[in-house]
Structure 1
Amino acid sequence: MIAMKESQCHSQLHASGIYEFKLLDNTNEAFHDLLNLISRADAMTPPTGVLRYVVDLSSSGIPPLNAAFQASQKWLLMHPDHARSRTVFLANPDLKRELALSFVRLLTHSARRWQWRFMDTGQHKAAMDWLLAND
């Protein structure tokens, strides 16, 4: 397992090739740290590969959505050829609806290259299994 970290977000690369990002706080800084780590992982993904990762929001909660959207849209514009991705967001059940509805708008730019799911924090194994699937 390889670890990378920014001040407000940590990541681990599992032997399976799945990255696991954990936000430590629900601030703009934490979200920017997450995007920095995703950028590093994206840069290491071969052109024909799939970037597979978990974003664990269980202890941080959701970052400020408006700022997260702006930062995400900027990231997508700066990375138009980003790797195909499969992402699972692990969140407490009460946070999933707000997060899911908010991210739907973002996906219009990247829907063909990004598959995602929202799962409860207790579904870590199911998240890893879905990330490794080839559908």
Structure 2
Amino acid sequence: MELLKQPPTTKGPAEWFTGDVWFDVIHRGEDPSRSRANMVRFAPGARTAWHSHGLGQTLLIVEGVALIQSRGGRLIKAHPGDIIWTPPGEEHWHGAAPGHFMTHLALWEGDDTAWLEHVTDADYTATPAATRQAL
């Protein structure tokens, strides 16, 4: 067992995010492991650009209100405890709802994330479908 030194929090680059986003690397597996885990914090209205992961991605919403959408799919509103799975190669985005901070734990494998264009304001402000009623 080993107590690992926590790397400093990193500001999300403008090429990948709209708005203010910070992430902490929780785990970055060394060969042969390809596992990755980041805790990502979004300011209200902040979001990723469209992107995809070669082996898929799982998000656990930790706090706040999240918006998630797959290319051509409906906009989903998610809350703490909700888990989102995005299959390999599926283009998607995720971020904080307007007026809410949001934190999620992102889990994926490998470094083959394909970053695409930024999400338009029209996509971001579409009417979301609730995944469940707020408590």
Name the larger-Rg structure. 2
Same fold judged by TM-score > 0.5? no
> What is the TM-score of this pair, normalised by structure 2?
0.31
Give 1 or 2: higher strand fraction: 2
> What is the TM-score of this pair, normalised by structure 1?
0.31
